[in-house]
Amino acid sequence: MVGARTGPPLPETPLDDPIYVTRPFLPPLAEFVPMLERIWERRVLTNSGPFHQELEARLASFLDAPHVSLTTNGMLALSVALEAAGLEGEVVTTPYSFVATTHSVLLEKLTPVFADVAPHDLNIDPAAIEAAITPRTTAILGVHCYGNPCDVVAIEAIAARHGLTVIYDAAHAFGVRLHGRGVFAHGDYSCVSFHATKAFNTFEGGAVTTGTAAAKLAVDGRKNFGIVDEVRIPTVGTNAKMSEMNAAMGLLQLDHFGHVRRERARVDALYRAGLADVAGIAPLAVPLGVEPNHSYFPVLVGDGFPRSRDGLYEHLKTQGIYSRRYFFPLLSSLPMYRDTPSADPANLPVAGDAAARVLCLPIYPDLADPQVERIVAAIRAA
Ligand code: T4K
């Protein structure tokens, strides 16, 4: 038939063209194939192969991290960091995060103690950390939530005063810089996720960055069954190694990260311009001195808006727009945590308020301008 249209059918309603909170960036397949061919030639598939070693070296430089140990995912990065740090007792942490943060603490048989977050960045509040410290505290586990850095100066001063280890859950913070320096330069350990939904992905993956070579050695042992060499296995460990295929993807993604960051910045700027005059919708500000990665676009839905956060979330779904309530429910409200004294909602008013009001809008590199305009229009029409 002359003139017949080929390809997928054009969307008739918004529901035919769903927009999800994120969509992974993938480099051109043609760039990945030669890397797969190298793996086939070498037949080194895992256990710290050449791509793995190259990615660790390139990330150390890119992230300003003294040392990098790649892992299977962000959750296991947290687990091996907590193990390598040799902690006992209590870990002061935030209730406003993804479950991996506190589950890793509990799985390591440590006790999470919740401290409230600060309203301006929704990161753990140094004053609340100080108040939560007891003689059993051995570490502070902060989360650079949405990629916005914790108050690293205050946290590290508290840690120095009390002799505590500082671990950052930097799952969201790939490539983020603070006053011109990679945020991974801070803390004893930082743990990042390379999950499909993150600004930098290796399908699944992650890394622990460490301040010292000794700490890297401890992490490398813990992620490889506790093995040091053929005959020495001095500690217990898990298997949290990254494969060569994931490492190859990481090397390729690193080449494209500049583009990814720029496209995310474009979406961020469009939202901020489009929502600037919408009463009751307040995008979370990027703190001064931060070069962000725009991995999330959280807005606080306030009293001036005609719908509640959940009302807006449901309304957007009717328009085929799938935003997410990261991070609701609050971790401290989950069955395994809610009986601990620090989980009392009266202790965590700012986190409780954020969990009820934050909505993360879709953001990813190939979210086109008209799609962002569609989301802004749907919010305005609510
Ligand atoms: N610490 C923090 C602070 C974290 O946020 C996370 C993970 C971790 C630690 C642990 O890191 P990993 O062990 O995951 O490396 C997602 C992710 O699974 C999780 O990695 C992430 N944080 C968390 C905040 O979000 P869900 O349940 O929202 O994922 P899902 O499958 O609903 O995906 C969201 C949307 O993304 C989908 O609607 C469609 C799109 N999508 C997703 C995947 C997986 C795709 O288009 N393609 C895909 O392959 O948890």
Token code pair at residue 155: 């946290």
Kindly state if the Cβ of 90 falls inside 6 Å of ligand 1. Answer: no
> Which letter does DSSP use for residue 13 in this model?
S
Kindly state if the Cβ of 101 falls inside 6 Å of ligand 1. Answer: yes
pLDDT tens readout for residues 10-69:
556 666 789 999 999 999 999 999 999 999 999 999 999 999 999 999 999 999 999 999
Looking at the structure, do residues 217 and 240 belong to the same domain, yes or no?
yes
Looking at the structure, do residues 76 and 206 belong to the same domain, yes or no?
yes
Tell me what pLDDT residue 3 has: 42
Tell me what pLDDT residue 16 has: 75
Residue 305 has a CB neighbour count (10 Å cut-off) of 20
Looking at the structure, do residues 217 and 321 belong to the same domain, yes or no?
no
Tell me what pLDDT residue 358 has: 98
Looking at the structure, do residues 213 and 106 belong to the same domain, yes or no?
yes
- Atom index in ligand 1 nearest the CA of residue 326 equals 24
pLDDT tens readout for residues 113-148:
999 999 999 999 999 999 999 999 999 999 999 999
Q: Of 101, 205, 187, 193, whose CA–CA distance to 147 is shortest? A: 193
Kindly state if the Cβ of 23 falls inside 6 Å of ligand 1. Answer: yes
- Atom index in ligand 1 nearest the CA of residue 75 equals 13
Tell me what pLDDT residue 9 has: 56
- Atom index in ligand 1 nearest the CA of residue 145 equals 3
What is the distance between the alpha carbons of residues 266 and 368, in angstroms, rounded to a whole number?
9
Residue 156 lies in a domain: yes
Tell me what pLDDT residue 2 has: 39
Looking at the structure, do residues 41 and 60 belong to the same domain, yes or no?
yes
Q: Are residues 182 and 200 in contact, defined by beta-carbon separation less than 8 angstroms? A: no
Q: Which CATH number goes with the domain that contains 330?
A: 3.90.1150.10
Kindly state if the Cβ of 367 falls inside 6 Å of ligand 1. Answer: no
Residue 248 has a CB neighbour count (10 Å cut-off) of 23
Kindly state if the Cβ of 363 falls inside 6 Å of ligand 1. Answer: no
Tell me what pLDDT residue 14 has: 66
Residue 364 lies in a domain: yes
Structural domains counted in the chain = 2
Nearest protein CA to atom 45 of ligand 1, as residue:
23
Kindly state if the Cβ of 20 falls inside 6 Å of ligand 1. Answer: yes
Kindly state if the Cβ of 193 falls inside 6 Å of ligand 1. Answer: yes
Last residue of one domain, picked from the residues 200, 233, 252: 252
Long-range contacts made by residues 89-92, C-beta under 8 angstroms, separation at least 24?
Answer: 89/136, 89/137, 89/138, 90/134, 90/136, 90/137, 90/138, 91/137, 91/138, 91/139, 91/140, 91/141, 91/167, 92/124, 92/129, 92/132, 92/133, 92/137, 92/139, 92/140, 92/141
Looking at the structure, do residues 203 and 263 belong to the same domain, yes or no?
no
Q: Are residues 152 and 125 in contact, defined by beta-carbon separation less than 8 angstroms? A: no
Nearest protein CA to atom 50 of ligand 1, as residue:
197
Structural domain of residue 159, as residue ranges? 29-252
Per-position pLDDT tens, the chain of length 382:
334 555 555 556 666 789 999 999 999 999 999 999 999 999 999 999 999 999 999 999 999 999 999 999 999 999 999 999 999 999 999 999 999 999 999 999 999 999 999 999 999 999 999 999 999 999 999 999 999 999 999 999 999 999 999 999 999 999 999 999 999 999 999 999 999 999 999 999 999 999 999 999 999 999 999 999 999 999 999 999 999 999 999 999 999 999 999 999 999 999 999 999 999 999 999 999 999 999 999 999 998 999 999 999 999 999 999 999 999 999 999 999 999 999 999 999 999 999 999 999 999 999 999 999 999 999 999 9
Looking at the structure, do residues 372 and 310 belong to the same domain, yes or no?
yes
Residue 122 lies in a domain: yes
- Atom index in ligand 1 nearest the CA of residue 322 equals 38
Last residue of one domain, picked from the residues 202, 227, 252: 252
Looking at the structure, do residues 150 and 238 belong to the same domain, yes or no?
yes
| 3-class DSSP state of 65 | coil
Helices and strands, counts by H and E, the chain:
11, 15
The dihedral over CA atoms of 141, 147, 148, 151, expressed in degrees to the nearest 10, equals 20
Cα angle 55, 264, 364 (rounded to 5 degrees) comes to 85
Looking at the structure, do residues 187 and 210 belong to the same domain, yes or no?
yes
Tell me what pLDDT residue 8 has: 54
pTM of the model: 0.96
Residue 130 lies in a domain: yes
Kindly state if the Cβ of 188 falls inside 6 Å of ligand 1. Answer: no
Residue 283 lies in a domain: yes
Ligand 1 centroid–CA 170 distance in Å is 14
Residue 2 lies in a domain: no
- Atom index in ligand 1 nearest the CA of residue 78 equals 9
Kindly state if the Cβ of 258 falls inside 6 Å of ligand 1. Answer: no
What is the Cα gyration radius of the chain?
22
Looking at the structure, do residues 238 and 271 belong to the same domain, yes or no?
no
Last residue of one domain, picked from the residues 252, 278, 297: 252
Q: Are residues 77 and 191 in contact, defined by beta-carbon separation less than 8 angstroms? A: yes
Q: Are residues 222 and 78 in contact, defined by beta-carbon separation less than 8 angstroms? A: no
Q: Which CATH number goes with the domain that contains 199?
A: 3.40.640.10
Looking at the structure, do residues 288 and 241 belong to the same domain, yes or no?
no
Looking at the structure, do residues 211 and 277 belong to the same domain, yes or no?
no
